[in-house]
Chains A and B, each alone.
Chain A
Amino acid sequence: MRLYAVVTLGGFRRYATYRVATFAGVFTNTVFGFILAYAYTALWDERPRLGGYDLPQAMTYVWLGQALLAACALMGGGFEDELIERIRTGDIAVDLYRPADLQLWWLAGDLGRAAFQLLGRGVVPMAIGAFAFELALPGDPLMWLAFLGALLLGLVVSFAIRFLIALSAFWLMDGAGAAQLGMLAAMFFSGMLLPLNVFPGALGEVARALPWSSMLQIPADVLLGKHTGWDLAGVYAFQAGWAVALLGAGRVLQSVATRRVVVQGG
């Protein structure tokens, strides 16, 4: 346990050293926050209470999306590129000899990264958004705590999916294509482009049932007070269910990969 705590801290500190990159990321998230906020305002002007949100709630959704984009690695930028590269070059052989579990090792590091991205790239755009637009942020600290719980589960689901994608590099050699497809699915099905409750009919139902909804739609709805009491327990169970299923699939794929695949490199 101690080992993984150290790895998490290392992940946090590692990303904390990229100060210019963090600043640049804050800039980009803020610019996109403004663009989306204007587009959503035009949309909500036409259809007030679309998807059950009033305008301040829709604005909160936009800025929360920008705040979570890097933390949930919705556009990539997590550990997966590095793991894919280690598989491609054969360095993975070294990792497999380590007296640590491969999946837990990368999970710990990725959670550290996510924690830094949340503080470094999440808080400032959110604050700027709250300054420029009317947001519907809760005053109750318990709501924020409930939100953090949903977010943590979302981060684990996000990791589990990207771990599966990275392992595909054992067979594909170059995992960049799979990583990109994963990124697309994450952007669309997390609700980053448009809230999932605005998706029409069956598309909306399918999108809300898929694991990606754990990364933005559910944490956002928890923060906006849409899930309380037993309903909150229900969405936690939904997220945890996906987390367990996907982590389990990762374990299976990992053992198949390490048994069957020849490591490249000299």
Chain B
Amino acid sequence: MALPEYRLPETSRWDILWSGLRAYGLIVAAWTRSTLTYRASFVMMAFGNFAATGFDFLSILLMFSHIDALGGYSLAEVAFLYGTTGTAFGLADLFLGSMNGLGRRVRDGTLDTLLVRPVPVLVQVAADRFALRRLGRILQGLLVLGYALLLVDIDWTVVRVLMLPMMIVSGAAIFGAVFVAGGAFQFWAQDAAQVQHAFTYGGNTVLQYPPSVFGRELVRGVTFVVPLAFVNWIPALYVMGRELPLGLPAAVAFLPPVVALVCCAAAGLAWRAGLRAYRSTGS
């Protein structure tokens, strides 16, 4: 007897994207409710996230209690760099910060549970243990950015105003790509969440200081190898009317969206390769 032919309903790429985002929202909502169960702890953690990043800026303020300029940049200019990278990194960390936990799931075998569910693995890993407390980091970045905008001497034009949201969105996407690529790396090196930190938290710390502070090799590395310089250095220096690092032409300052797209595509490929290479644990 011939079985009736069964067809899956037609799904387009947009449907997949939409259902992925919907699933992300559902998982995030569940984790948020669970976090709010221990309210005292949540308040402490949210404050902690706010303060943790605040301490970074406090140490910069302490430095400036002894000096007027660091690497030739004033406090307002450093604060502008700090605020832009802090906000962009905070956004990426809010949405994708959980990628750190992938190695643990690979090690203990719980990744298998995610593989059999009808939701993209990337979505599940990204939403896993979603931490609302990370809003504290974004808030802190925005506050320093506001402080910088009040003090910094910028010759504002329409283009320069528009570059501000552009660099924060592109910057968040670039950091997001680093998070996803770092997650993909953990399919192979399961215990290496710290390597990811070097690029995410480390990258964020580098971008808080002006490029003139660092050696040329480091500046080249974060411009051409892991293009974090496009998060804020290059567009922010353009906005502040300064020379771009490495003698790059001013037009490069408009590239962050392109760089972000390329990074996200590369991270997507790395993720697929990692997922294919995954073998479950077992003895």
Contacts and interface: CB of A to CB of B under 8 A. Distances in A.
Given A21-B194, A27-B198, A46-B70, A180 B55 contact: no
Interface string B183-223: 00000011111110110001001100100111100100000
B48 interface: yes
Contacts of A20: 189-192
Nearest to A77: B194
Interface stretch (B37-45, B152-160, B230-238, B264-272): B37-45
Interface residues of A, number: 39
Interface stretch (B61-69, B88-96, B113-121): B61-69
Candidate in B38, B69, B212 with the most chain A CB atoms within 10 angstroms: B38
A43 B66 CA distance: 9
A226 B56 CA distance: 27
A177 B52 contact: no
Contacts of A43: 63, 66-67, 70
Interface residues of B, number: 43
Chain B contact residues: over half helix, strand or loop, or mixed?
helix
Given A38-B213, A176-B41, A21 B70 contact: no
Interface string A145-161: 00000000000000000
Interface in A172-209: 172-178, 180-181, 183-184, 187-188, 193-194, 198-200
A101 to B, nearest CB: 28
A39 interface: yes
Contacts of B241: none
B51 interface: yes
B48 A184 contact: yes
Given A39-B213, A193-B59, A198-B62, A46 B198 contact: no
Interface in A132-175: 172-175
B71 interface: yes
B202 A28 contact: yes
Given A20-B192, A47-B66, A198-B62, A177 B43 contact: yes
Contacts of A177: 38, 40-45, 48
Chain A contact residues: over half helix, strand or loop, or mixed?
helix
B194 A172 contact: no
A31 interface: yes
Nearest to A203: B62
Interface string A9-38: 000000000111101110110011011001
Contact of A32 (B42, B68, B205): B205
Contacts of B214: 35, 38
B218 A198 contact: no
A47 B189 CA distance: 43
A113 B177 CA distance: 34
A38 B218 contact: yes
Nearest to A175: B41
Given A31-B198, A38-B214, A46-B69, A194 B41 contact: no
B76 to A, nearest CB: 17
Nearest to B48: A180
A41 B41 CA distance: 39
A28 B195 contact: yes
A50 interface: yes
Given A24-B191, A35-B206, A174-B38, A193 B55 contact: yes
A41 B71 CA distance: 9
A200 B40 contact: no
Given A176-B41, A177-B43, A177-B45, A24 B67 contact: no
A127 interface: no
Contacts of B215: 38
B62 A180 contact: no
Contacts of A38: 209, 213-215, 218
B51 A184 contact: yes
A42 interface: yes
Contacts of B63: 43, 194, 198
A244 B197 CA distance: 35
A20 B191 CA distance: 6
Interchain residue pairs A-B with the least CB separation, the first 6: A177-B44, A177-B41, A20-B191, A24-B194, A180-B48, A174-B38
26 contacts: A21-B194, A24-B191, A27-B198, A35-B202, A38-B209, A38-B214, A38-B218, A39-B213, A46-B66, A47-B67, A172-B41, A173-B38, A177-B40, A177-B44, A177-B45, A178-B41, A180-B45, A180-B49, A180-B52, A184-B51, A188-B55, A193-B58, A198-B62, A198-B66, A199-B62, A200-B65
Interface of B: 38, 40-45, 47-49, 51-52, 55-56, 58-59, 62-63, 65-71, 189-195, 197-198, 202, 205-206, 209, 212-215, 218
Given A31-B198, A32-B205, A176-B41, 18 more contacts: A20-B192, A24-B192, A24-B193, A24-B194, A27-B198, A28-B198, A32-B198, A173-B38, A177-B48, A178-B44, A180-B52, A181-B44, A181-B47, A183-B52, A188-B55, A193-B56, A199-B62, A200-B65
